[in-house]
Amino acid sequence: MLTSIPRVLILAVLSAFLLSCEQEGPTQAIIHTDMGDIKVELYDSTPKHRDNFIKLAKEGFYDSLLFHRVIPGFMIQGGDPNSKKAAPGQMLGDGGPGYTLNAEIGELHYKGALAAARRGDQQNPERRSSGSQFYIVEGRPINENLLQQMTQQTGLEYTPEQKQRYIEQGGYPPLDGQYTVFGEVVEGMDVVSKIAAAPRNATDRPKADIRMRVEIVD
């Protein structure tokens, strides 16, 4: 004989289901810096890069590393483990965790894009990403003419929605189709801009160290 399910149990199960639905969504991380916090959202469309970034962050790999290259109107770059104990003025940018990642190229370099650094095409024709180094696009204003030039040079066709976002927000389309973008800033672009504007030396390393700590938001 079938028995009726108590109403309170139904409500409890429904509440738990709704709560789990609310908690689902893209993984977020907070990049704590000496100049403030930057919150980023990691893309599910780039699972290798997403999972690797989460793994390194949870292991504390990024803790105390520097933003070792900053260029206003372009980007800020960090994630080189050699930067943790680097001497003032030391050249940086060659370090990593001992492996690279298969490219997952597709997302665009809008303002706030989080992307993987890599070696140039001559050394790296497969465009494999650094296992740890990343950059965040500060970008510059973009207009229709520049996007048309990029299409002519690279063959990339932008949808009307992509063009609108570039024109409204800015970014750096010359990197599209060449580097893996695996996330974007959702809070703290003002901090990105402050870091990008930091006084720097001839190799674009900030004269005063800017350290980071990466926290995954569960």
Q: What is the CATH classification number for the domain harbouring 86?
A: 2.40.100.10
pLDDT, one tens digit per residue, over 108-140 is 999 999 999 999 999 999 999 999 999 999 999
The count of structural domains within the chain is 1
Predicted model pTM? 0.89
Residue 10 within any structural domain of the chain: no
pLDDT, one tens digit per residue, over 44-99 is 999 999 999 999 999 999 999 999 999 999 999 999 999 999 999 999 999 999 99
Average model confidence (pLDDT) across the chain: 92
Residue 2 within any structural domain of the chain: no
Residue 116 within any structural domain of the chain: yes
pLDDT, one tens digit per residue, over 4-32 is 555 554 455 455 444 444 447 899 999 99
Q: What is the band of 2 on the pLDDT scale with cuts at 50, 70, 90?
A: very low
Residue 199 within any structural domain of the chain: yes
Give the up-direction half-sphere exposure of residue 162: CA atoms within 13 A in the CB hemisphere.
14
Q: Determine the structural domain holding residue 168 and report its residue range.
A: 26-217
Residue 179 within any structural domain of the chain: yes
User: 112-151: buried (b, 16+ CB within 10 Å) or exposed (e) per residue?
Assistant: bbbbbbbeeeeeeeebbbbbbbbbbbbbeebeeeebeebe
Residue 6 within any structural domain of the chain: no
Residue 18 within any structural domain of the chain: no
Q: What are phi and psi of 188, to 5 degrees?
A: 100, 25
Q: What is the pLDDT of residue 99?
A: 98
Strand order in the sheet with 212-217: 67-71, 75-78, 134-137, 113-116, 181-187, 36-42, 28-33, 212-217
